[in-house]
Amino acid sequence: MAIGPQSRKWLQKKSRLGLRGYPIGTVAFYGPDETRASKVAVGIVLAEGGEPVELQRWFSDKSDVRHETRILDEVVAFLRRHGARSVAMVDRILGCPHEEGIDYPLGETCPQCPYWAGRSRWVDEKFDELER
């Protein structure tokens, strides 16, 4: 299903509308640093407090997935296919695209993404800077 350049606008608009009911689609971007998203993870949550019942990930080694029309078209198609009435999405990269316990040992920092070591995903500051 080709949606074209409108898929990014659709995602932004849908996320700005706030909670419109369930199912909710969650969209999170991840990257090696704060400048390029190399992964997008999209989940479907059916009820308040629930865990995602469906989860799909898309990757790009070279480009930013936030600007990849093909990937964004697939994200929108995934959300529509699962009947997402709401979309929860933040406007920044949330962290490293690698998964703790899968791509590197639990409790350690990712050796491929030093930018995220000791950094809060939510305020884009180092943890020691938050304590000041």
pLDDT at 132: 42
130: pLDDT strictly greater than 60: no
The closest alpha carbon to 93, from 67, 124, 57, belongs to 124
Identify the DSSP state of 66: G
pTM: 0.86
As a whole number, mean pLDDT of residues 108-120 equals: 89
Mean pLDDT of the chain: 89
The Cα–Cα gap between 26 and 108 comes to 26
The closest alpha carbon to 85, from 20, 18, 15, belongs to 20
pLDDT at 122: 65
Q: From start to end of the chain, where are the E strands? A: 24-30, 39-45, 54-59, 86-93
pLDDT at 119: 84
The Cα–Cα gap between 34 and 125 comes to 11
Domain ranges within the chain, ordered by starting residue:
6-130
Confidence category of residue 121, pLDDT binned at 50, 70, 90: low
Cα torsion at 43, 63, 32, 127 (round to 10°)? -70
pLDDT at 53: 96
Q: Is 49 left (phi over 0), alpha (psi -120 to 50) or beta?
A: left
